[in-house]
């Protein structure tokens, strides 16, 4: 089962994505990478999952009223991604910029399948996507994930804990089951799409060094000259 997208996108820019369950530290690593690239005066653009104004309000209201079925969830997130791809990802790539994506289509491949959506169907749904130049997966265990999340706030979010799936009455136990299943899907995805796996239990600086070493290889061939249609 392989997604129907280009092996290599034709644009002068670079697309780098990070993946991982909540609490994996992926966002921290992407922020550090962004600061490093900007310090070298590279033009960088940041985008994150589920942030399109086109469907953001619809998703928020649907979550609040518990109206979203797994298929509806999947379609709305795909719509969100399509909007961001066309308006926020492709333009800077064509302009020769470096685009950093906090979560990419692999998030849908993991979450939607765990919620019961057919793996082939969700991959076909994202068949219009382009392949990142690099995708890092930050691997962390469930207990560490929960500890990190609850360090910054008092409780787990309803959908974050998979409470909509009725896995357990206790949010923490539900989170363990739900995110544990997502971890299993990520294991398959990493092999299927050759994601670069990083041990998210290592010191932050050690993780960042691995990230930068991989990015440096890309920068050696990087030509930021804009693509003219």
> Is residue 225 predicted with pLDDT exceeding 90?
no
Q: Residue 16 — pLDDT band, cuts 50, 70, 90?
A: very high
Q: Residue 142 — pLDDT band, cuts 50, 70, 90?
A: very high
146-182: burial string, b at 16+ Cβ within 10 Å, e else: bebbeeeeeebeebbbbbbbebbeebeebbbbbbbbb
How far apart CA 192 and CA 58 sit, in angstroms, is: 32
Fold of 15-213: Rossmann fold (3.40.50)
For residue 56, count CB atoms less than 10 angstroms from its CB and return exposed for 0-12, middle for 13-18, buried for 19 or more: middle
**What pLDDT digit, counting tens, does each position of 67-123 carry?**
678 898 899 999 999 999 999 999 999 999 999 999 999 999 999 999 999 999 999
Q: Which of 49-53, 64-68, 146-150, 200-204 has the lowest mean pLDDT?
A: 64-68
Give the model's pLDDT for residue 2.
Answer: 45
Give the model's pLDDT for residue 227.
Answer: 53
Residue among 103, 104, 94, 99 nearest 45 (CA):
99
Strand order in the sheet with 98-102: 44-48, 98-102, 14-19, 134-139, 196-199
49 phi, psi to nearest 5 deg:
-65, 145
Q: Residue 9 — pLDDT band, cuts 50, 70, 90?
A: confident
Give the model's pLDDT for residue 126.
Answer: 94
- Give percent of the chain with pLDDT exceeding 70: 92
What sign for the dihedral angle of Cα 69, 57, 170, 25?
positive
Give the model's pLDDT for residue 107.
Answer: 96
Give the model's pLDDT for residue 210.
Answer: 98
15, β-bridge pairs: 99
Residue among 4, 52, 26, 189 nearest 111 (CA):
189
């Amino acid at each position: 089962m392989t997604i129907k997208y280009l092996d290599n996108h034709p644009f002068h820019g670079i697309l780098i994505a990070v993946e991982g369950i909540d609490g994996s530290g992926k966002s921290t690593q992407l922020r550090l990478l962004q600061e490093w690239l900007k310090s070298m005066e590279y033009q960088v653009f940041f985008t994150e999952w589920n942030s399109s104004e086109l469907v953001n309000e619809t998703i928020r209201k649907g979550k609040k009223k518990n109206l979203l079925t797994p298929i509806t969830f999947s379609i709305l997130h795909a719509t969100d991604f399509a909007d961001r791809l066309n308006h926020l990802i492709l333009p800077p790539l064509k302009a020769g910029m470096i685009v950093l994506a906090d979560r990419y289509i692999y998030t849908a491949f993991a979450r939607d399948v765990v919620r019961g959506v057919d793996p082939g169907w969700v991959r076909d749904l994202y068949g219009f996507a382009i392949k990142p130049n690099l995708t890092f997966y930050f691997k962390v265990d469930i207990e560490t994930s929960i500890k990190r999340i609850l360090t910054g706030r008092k409780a787990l979010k309803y959908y974050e804990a998979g409470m909509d799936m009725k896995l357990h009455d206790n949010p923490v136990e539900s989170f363990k089951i739900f995110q544990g299943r997502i971890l299993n899907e990520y294991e398959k995805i990493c092999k299927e799409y050759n994601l670069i796996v990083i041990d998210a239990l290592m010191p932050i600086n050690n993780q960042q060094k691995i990230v930068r070493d991989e990015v440096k290889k890309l920068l050696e061939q990087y030509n930021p000259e804009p693509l003219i249609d």
